[in-house]
Structure formats: C-alpha cells, structure tokens
Amino acid sequence: MEGGEGTSVNSHHQLTWGNLLRQVMDLLAPCWAYNKLIFSYCLPDTVTLVTGTVICPIYGNKVKLCLQENTKSVPLVLVELPLSTRGFTSSIQYGVLRVVLEPVHGPGSSQGWVTYCNGQKVGFARKLEMGEEKSVLDMMPMVSAGAGIMLHRGTETGGYKYLRGQFERVVGSDDTESYHLTDPSNCFGQEFSIFFLGN
C-alpha cells in the first residue's frame, strides 16, 4: 500500500512538472524560432515601447543597431547591419526607412539575416562578437535621446554619429516583430521601422 501511495505521489509530481515545463515551452516557443539566435531574451507582449539606438561610425565599419527594454537593461538585440554610415544616411534622408531582417539558414547550424532597406537587398546582418559588443555597450551611457556626435580623435573611426529614440513594438504572427520610431515632437522628421521576420 505504501509503495502504491509513493508511486502515486511520484506520478503526480511528474505530471505537475511536466505540465509546468509544457507551459514554459508554450510561452517561449513563439520567440525561439529566431529570438534565440538574434534576440538575447523574450519580451512580454505587454512591453510596447523599447529604446532603440543606431550607432554610425564616422569613418569605416558598419552601422550598429541596439534595442533595449530601457537604457539600463541588457540589449534585446545588438547587431551590425550591412550598411555604412553613408549608406544609412542616404537611405533615411528621404524621410522613410524600413529595414527588414529575414533569417536564412546557412551550412550546418549557421544562420544569417538577409537585410533589405526600403525593399532593396543590401547584404547580411550579423550579431556582434563579445569584444565588439562590449565596445558598443561602453558607449551607451554617453548617448542621449535624439541625434548627436561623439568624437574619438586619434582613433580609426574618428567618432560616431548616433540616433536614439523610443520605438513602438508590434508583435505579429509567425514569430514576426516590428519596431517603429515614435516621434511625437517631430524632431527627427523621419519614419524609421525595423522588421524581424520569423522562420
């Protein structure tokens, strides 16, 4: 009898943990398709505004994009876009810029993100390596809301131009999320949106 009760209790615990695990898996599944590769973690659907920062080296290198829940949180996304500063500014100068990142599977387990700007394919985005990520994060406390320049004289980059603002987050179907620059005071004068497509 005791053995039967013990077996019953163990079965109950297994079912309870199994149900809990299944619920967690169901909760995370929508963002695992691509978030585990390009997103650091999943945001609750209730989060509708995030902080977005675009870092543009004055000389050379590519534009970096950082999305955070707030200015002090761990980056949700930190990627290098296949755009030079000149390419980014020339794309956004017409007032509307839509950047789309579409995941594509490479050989083995490698993954890349085809990037389109206003419908034109411009190359592949990539996640930053740890050393690169640290250098960008070190800059974040010096960046304020709006657009500006940080000069780094004596370096290869010469400094950085940046744009920081609030982005409205929209969660779509098929693991798709988009982020749209909010500009209530019309100080930017541009429409800037970023779309992350699911697999």
**Total number of domains constituting the chain:** 1
Percent of the chain clearing pLDDT 90 (strictly above): 30
Is the model's pLDDT at 2 over the cut of 80? no
Tens-digit pLDDT profile for residues 114-158: 999 999 999 999 888 878 888 888 888 888 888 888 887 656 557
User: In this predicted structure, what is the pLDDT of residue 159?
Assistant: 85
Length of the chain: 199
User: In this predicted structure, what is the pLDDT of residue 89?
Assistant: 86
Is the model's pLDDT at 55 over the cut of 70? yes
Dump strand ranges (E) for the chain: 49-57, 64-68, 75-80, 96-105, 111-117, 120-127, 146-151, 159-171, 177-181, 191-196
Sign of CA dihedral 5, 11, 14, 16: negative
Tens-digit pLDDT profile for residues 167-188: 999 988 767 899 999 976 666 6
List the structure tokens of 152: 């780094």
Please tell me the distance from the alpha carbon of residue 115 to that of residue 193, in angstroms, as a whole number.
13
In a domain, 100, yes or no: yes
Is the model's pLDDT at 31 over the cut of 50? no
- Report H helices in 33-176: 35-38, 85-92, 130-139
In a domain, 101, yes or no: yes
In a domain, 35, yes or no: no
For the chain, give the mean pLDDT. Answer: 78
In a domain, 95, yes or no: yes
Using alpha carbons, select from 119, 125, 118, 116 the residue that is nearest to residue 190. 118
166 pLDDT tier (thresholds 50, 70, 90): very high
- On whether the CB atoms of residues 164 and 23 are closer than 8 A, the answer is no
Using alpha carbons, select from 117, 165, 172 the residue that is nearest to residue 143. 165
Is the model's pLDDT at 99 over the cut of 70? yes
Beta-bridged to residue 147, according to DSSP, are 163
User: In this predicted structure, what is the pLDDT of residue 42?
Assistant: 79
In a domain, 13, yes or no: no
Tens-digit pLDDT profile for residues 70-97: 988 889 899 999 999 988 988 887 788 9
Is the model's pLDDT at 50 over the cut of 90? yes
In a domain, 59, yes or no: yes
In a domain, 56, yes or no: yes
In a domain, 55, yes or no: yes
Range of the domain at 188: 21-29+43-196
Amino acid at 60: G
